[in-house]
């Protein structure tokens, strides 16, 4: 028998002793272990129930919050500006914009066209 | 809606399977049945709170990790308490006072557990295991008794696999020396 086998046998003996000692625990200790287990299981059930109830109210609350946020954002975008439309920079952009000049030129043309039609 | 019935049953079976071994491990560390029962109860509660939802295969490592952590905390608190009592001159006054193993010898009607311990071999093994340093004893019990592999034991004890090998080998060597008669018997 080699050293490893001897060690394994020795460890096996100790394991046997330890197993025997757990099988013969006195009833009071067994009862307390059972009570501890029951308490632990009750605690986990309680905790689980709380977790399950959590999404129900958070879903309703979250939905309400999201709806309110969307409405606020929507109204904020559509509120007419109270600022005067004569800011210098904006005016400058309007004056220098090529599209605007074309528009006024076209406007002249449409006036002339309308006058011609009236004459006829 | 409560915890799923299947999970509850699995958890109950698992705890019922490990509780006695857990208790013995805690008894070896605390040398007191009441303290050991408290340690196991705390470990069960903590384990259930934190890890009940984890896959069943991970439960043994996680449970023993919690238990070993509780035992280490207890050991630290106890060491501090003993030092304080030592300074106050109360020394070993309360050591073994409530130790069921110490009470066994006085019991007139020993139960099967006490009988196991009272047998010559049982008492020798009990004392030998108790005499091991805490970390060596933890490594030995987790490896040899609980059947965890080196990596799992290292995860439970929060140390390297090399350290586990060293602790285990020293524990076996010490036990073989202390239990020489039984080692060759």
- Are the Cβ atoms of A37 and B113 closer than 8 angstroms? no
ipTM above 0.85, yes or no: no
User: For residues B47 and B66, is the Cβ–Cβ distance under 8 A?
Assistant: yes
Stated as kind and residue range, the H or E segment containing B26 is helix B5-30
Residue pLDDT, tens place only, B40-87: 999 999 999 889 888 999 999 999 999 999 999 998 988 888 888 777
Chain B residues with CB under 8 Å of A49 CB are: 1-3
Which sign does the torsion angle of CA B60, B66, B69, B71 carry? negative
Q: In terms of domains, do A43 and A56 share one? A: yes
Q: How many CB pairs under 8 A join A and B?
A: 110
Domains and CATH numbers, chain B: 1-118 (no CATH), 120-185 (1.10.10.10)
Q: How far apart are CA B32 and CA B11, in angstroms?
A: 27
What is the distance in angstroms between the Cα of B36 and the nearest Cα belonging to chain A?
10
Domain of A27, in residue numbers: 1-79
Question: CA of A71: how far to CAs of A7, A62, A75, A78, in Å?
Answer: 76, 14, 6, 11
Q: Which residues contact B16 (CB under 8 A, 6 or more apart)?
A: A37
Q: Which tokens in the block code for residue B32?
A: 């007191």
Can you tell me which residue has the tokens 């490893």?
A4
Q: In terms of domains, do A15 and A47 share one? A: yes
Chain A residues with CB under 8 Å of B148 CB are: none
The pLDDT tens digits along chain A (120 residues) read 688 898 999 999 999 999 999 988 889 999 999 999 999 999 888 776 665 555 556 667 777 888 888 888 877 777 665 555 556 666 666 666 666 666 666 777 677 777 877 776
Across chain B, mean pLDDT equals 84
Q: In terms of domains, do A86 and A74 share one? A: no
User: For residues B74 and B35, is the Cβ–Cβ distance under 8 A?
Assistant: yes
Q: How confident is the model at residue A11, as a pLDDT?
A: 93
Q: How confident is the model at residue B105, as a pLDDT?
A: 42
Question: Domains in chain A: how many in total?
Answer: 2
- Are the Cβ atoms of A41 and B41 closer than 8 angstroms? no
Q: How confident is the model at residue A62, as a pLDDT?
A: 75
Interchain CB contact of B5 with A (< 8 Å) = no
Q: In terms of domains, do A96 and A67 share one? A: no
Q: Which of A25, A32, A44 sits opposite B48 (nearest CB)?
A: A44
* Pick among B145, B168, B180 to test the A interface (most A CBs inside 10 A): B145
User: For residues B153 and B106, is the Cβ–Cβ distance under 8 A?
Assistant: no
Q: How far apart are CA B180 and CA B152, in angstroms?
A: 30
pTM for the predicted model, two decimal places:
0.67
Q: How far apart are CA B67 and CA B55, in angstroms?
A: 18
Q: Which tokens in the block code for residue B83?
A: 């030092």
- Residue B155, pLDDT above cutoff 90: yes
DSSP letters along B109-138, please? Answer: S--HHHHHHHSHHHHHHHHHHHHS-HHHHH
Q: How confident is the model at residue B102, as a pLDDT?
A: 45
Q: How confident is the model at residue B177, as a pLDDT?
A: 93
Residue pLDDT, tens place only, B97-126: 455 544 444 444 556 665 655 678 888 999
The helices-and-strands tally (H runs, E runs) of chain A is 4, 0
Interchain CB contact of B2 with A (< 8 Å) = yes
């Amino acid at each position: 028998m080699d050293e490893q086998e001897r060690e394994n046998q020795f460890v096996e003996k100790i394991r046997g002793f330890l197993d025997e000692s757990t099988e013969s625990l006195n009833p009071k200790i067994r009862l307390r272990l059972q009570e501890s287990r029951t308490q632990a299981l009750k605690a986990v059930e309680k905790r689980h129930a709380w977790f399950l109830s959590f999404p129900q109210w958070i879903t309703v609350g979250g939905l309400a919050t999201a709806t309110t946020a969307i409405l606020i954002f929507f109204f904020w975008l559509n509120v007419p500006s109270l600022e005067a439309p004569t800011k210098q920079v904006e005016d400058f952009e309007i004056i220098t914009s090529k599209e605007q000049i074309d528009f006024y030129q076209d406007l002249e043309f449409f006036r002339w066209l309308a006058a011609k039609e009236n004459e006829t | 809606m409560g915890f799923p019935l299947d999970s509850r049953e699995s958890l109950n079976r698992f705890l019922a399977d490990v509780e006695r071994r857990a208790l013995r491990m805690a008894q070896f560390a605390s040398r007191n049945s009441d303290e050991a029962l408290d340690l196991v109860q705390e470990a069960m509660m903590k384990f259930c709170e934190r890890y009940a939802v984890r896959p069943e295969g991970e439960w043994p490592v996680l449970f023993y990790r919690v238990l070993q952590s509780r035992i280490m905390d207890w050991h630290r608190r106890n060491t501090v308490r003993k030092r304080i009592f030592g300074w106050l001159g109360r020394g070993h006054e309360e050591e073994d006072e409530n130790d069921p193993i110490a009470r066994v010898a006085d019991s007139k009607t020993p139960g099967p557990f006490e009988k196991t311990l009272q047998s010559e071999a049982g008492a020798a093994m009990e004392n030998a295991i108790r005499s091991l340093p805490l970390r060596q004893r933890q490594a030995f019990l987790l490896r040899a008794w609980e059947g965890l592999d080196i990596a799992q034991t290292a995860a439970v004890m929060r140390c390297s696999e090399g350290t586990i090998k060293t602790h285990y080998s020293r524990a076996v060597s010490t036990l073989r020396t202390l239990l020489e008669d039984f080692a060759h018997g």
